[in-house]
Structure 1
Amino acid sequence: MNFTDGEYTLTLGGVRQWVRVDGARHDTVPLVLVHGGPGGNHYVFERTAGPLLARERTVVYHEQRGCGRSDAPADVRAYDVDTLVRDLDALRSALGVPALDLLGYSFGGGLALAYAHAYPWHVRRVVAQAPALDLTDPRLVECQIAGFLEVAFGEVRALIEAILASHDPPEVRLERTWQAADLQTVDHFLFHDPAHARRNRAWWRESGLVNSGLMHRVVKARPVLPWQALAAVNVPTLVVVGRHDRNVGVAYARAVSDALPRGQFESLEDAAHFPDVETPETYVEVISRFLADER
C-alpha cells in the first residue's frame, strides 16, 4: 500500500470521498472501516476503537458518498448499494492492494457483507458488527419496537403505545416511534450505560456532521444483501454484537452468523448497539484475535 498516515480525498465513482489512514507502519492487509447510518460517519469511531485497532493494524477510514466529510453525488438517487459496493472496490484499487479486511458496523456490516458477496476474491476477512441486511426486515422492526417498549417510560411510553396500537403498517409505526422518542429514550435504546450515551452525543455535536437522510431513503428500497445470499459469502466472518443491542438484536446477529459458511459469533457484555464506544478494549481484543487468525 502506497499511502502513509493522514487524511486524503479520493475520487471514487466520480465523487470526492474522505479517507484517513492510520497505522500504515504495520503494513498489514488494510482494515477498511465501513460506517453505518445509513448516512453516518466515523467521527466517534476515530475516538474509541479506531486508535486501538491502529496499534497493530493498518486502518483505513472511509466515509461513503454524501456522508460525513465526503462530497455528495450530483444525482440524489446515486446512493444504491451496488454503487456503494463499487465505491469500496474503487477504494481498494486506489490503495493498490489485492485484498482487504473489512469492519462494518450496523448498516455498514451489511454493506461489508454485500462487498464480500460481490468481490470475494478481494476480501481476506470480514467483521460485521450488528449487521443489518434489510432495513425493513420484520425481525429488525419487531426488535426495535420491543426495544423501545423496554426503555420508554411515562408520557413517552404512553405515546409509543398509542402509535403501536394504530393500524399503520409495522414499518410506519416504527418510524413514528423513532419520531416520538425523546433524546433520553433514544440514548437508553442505543446504549447500555447512559454515561456512554452522553459522551457519544457530545462527540456528535462536536463533529458538526449531519446525516442528510438521502442515503437512507434510497437504500431502504431493497435489501442491502438478500438473506439467501449469505450462503455464498464464503470468507471468514466474525459477527459481533452487544448483548443489550435493541437496534439489531442478538438473535438476528446470531442468525446472520449461522447462515454464513464460515461465520463466527461473539456477544459482548455491558454493551448495546455501540460496543466500540462502551467496551472498546474488549471489542478490539476480540476483533484483533479474529484478524490475526490465519486459518
Structure 2
Amino acid sequence: MTLENGEQRVTLNGIEHWLKVEGAENQTIPLLLIHGGPGGNHYTFERTIGPRLAENRTLIYYEQRGSGRSAQPQSEGAYTIPELIDDLNQLIQWLSYDQVDLLGYSFGGELALEYAYHYPKTVRSMVLSSPSLLTLKVTDVTQIAGFMSVVNIEMMKDIEALLSNSLPIDRVLDQIWETIDIDTVDRFLFEDQAIAKKNRQLWEQSNLPNTGLMAKALRKHPMAPPLEDRLKAIQHKVLILTGVHDRNTGMPISRIIHRELPNSQWELFYNSAHFPDLEEPEKFTELVIKFLKSL
C-alpha cells in the first residue's frame, strides 16, 4: 500500500478505527504509534512530539477500539488483550507491510510487547516510553507511593487510613483515583507544572473522554501467563525510555522489562515524570530517531 498523509477510517474486526498517516514523504518503514490509557488517545501526541518524529519517519497513528475517535465494540467487555492484538494485526495486514516499527507509550508499550510476542516476524523493533505491566501488583504500589509524594497532608492521612483498613491494594488505588483533584493528577504525572498545564489544555480541547471500560475489562480478564513471565521470549531490539520521576508506571516496571528482555537499551530522562516526550522532547526525538536509524 502507498501511504498518503491524512486521517481516515478503517474497519478492524467489525469496529471502525480512526487512523492517521504523517510523514509519508519520508518513505521509511512505518512507525506505528500505540497510545496508552488504557482507553486513551493520540490527540496530545499528534500536536506535540508527533510532528517532530514525522520530520524523519513515516508515522501511523491509530486509536484502539472504544478509545479516542474509534468506535466502541457492542460489548462493554470486548477489550481484552487478545482482541486488541487481533485489531492491531488486522491493521498491519490492511497496510500490507511485511514489517513495522512500534512505538508504544504507557499501556501502549505493554500492548506493543504483547503484539511482538504473538507476531514476532511482523515487528522489526520497538520503542517503549514509560511502559506498563498491569498485572504486577508493584504497579499499584508504585502509584500509591507516587500519590503520597505529591498530595497534601490531609490527603496523605486519608491514604494512610485506607491502607490501614486492610483493603486490597487495587481497591485502595481505585479510591484514590476517585477522590483526587486535577491539580494532584498533574503533579503526579509531570515534574514541570507549566507543561502539565499545556497538557491539561490539550486534554480538555480534545473532548475525548476515557470511558474506563478498557481498564475494567483488562483487570477482569488478565492474560495468562502474564506478560512479565514471557518477556525473555521477545528477541527484538527494544529502546526503553523512562522519566526518573515517573510516579505512574515507574522506574521499577521499566527496570523489570529491561532486565527480562534479551535485547533492550534503557535510557533515562532526569527532568521527566510519566511523559518524557512532553517534558524533554528534544532528547526524546533524538534518541528515537537515532535508534531507528541504527537498524
TM-score (norm 2): 0.96
The equivalent of 1:207 in structure 2 is 206
Question: In structure 1, what is the Cα distance between the partners aligned to 2:64 and 2:173?
Answer: 26
Counterpart amino acid of 1:280?
P
SS at match of 1:44: helix
Alpha-carbon RMSD: 1.2
Counterpart amino acid of 2:18?
W
Question: In structure 2, what is the Cα distance between the partners aligned to 1:162 and 1:46?
Answer: 41
Question: In structure 2, what is the Cα distance between the partners aligned to 1:128 and 1:48?
Answer: 17
Q: Given the alignment of the two structures, is residue 155 of structure 1 paired with residue 154 of structure 2, yes or no? A: yes
- CA apart distance, 1:210: 0.9
Question: In structure 1, what is the Cα distance between the partners aligned to 2:69 and 2:282?
Answer: 27
Does the 8 A contact of 1:103 with 1:129 survive in 2? yes
Question: In structure 2, what is the Cα distance between the partners aligned to 1:188 and 1:151?
Answer: 6
What are the residue-to-residue correspondences of 1:51-62 with 2, within 5 Å?
Answer: 51-62=51-62
Aligned length in residues = 293
The equivalent of 2:63 in structure 1 is 63
Q: Given the alignment of the two structures, is residue 193 of structure 1 paired with residue 217 of structure 2, yes or no? A: no
What are the residue-to-residue correspondences of 1:254-293 with 2, within 5 Å?
Answer: 254-293=255-294
Counterpart amino acid of 1:265?
W
Counterpart amino acid of 1:171?
D
Question: In structure 2, what is the Cα distance between the partners aligned to 1:180 and 1:77?
Answer: 25
SS at match of 1:28: coil
TM-score (norm 1): 0.96
The equivalent of 2:13 in structure 1 is 13
What are the residue-to-residue correspondences of 1:216-235 with 2, within 5 Å?
Answer: 216-221=215-220, 222-223=222-223, 225-235=226-236
Counterpart amino acid of 1:72?
Q
Question: In structure 2, what is the Cα distance between the partners aligned to 1:211 and 1:254?
Answer: 28
Gaps of 5+ in 1: none
The equivalent of 1:105 in structure 2 is 105
Gaps of 5+ in 2: none
Does the 8 A contact of 1:34 with 1:105 survive in 2? yes
Question: In structure 2, what is the Cα distance between the partners aligned to 1:236 and 1:242?
Answer: 20
SS at match of 1:8: strand
1:206-251 Cα distance to aligned partner (Å, 9 max, x none): 0010111111111123149521110111110111111110111112
Identity across aligned pairs (percent)? 44
The equivalent of 2:245 in structure 1 is 244
SS at match of 2:65: coil
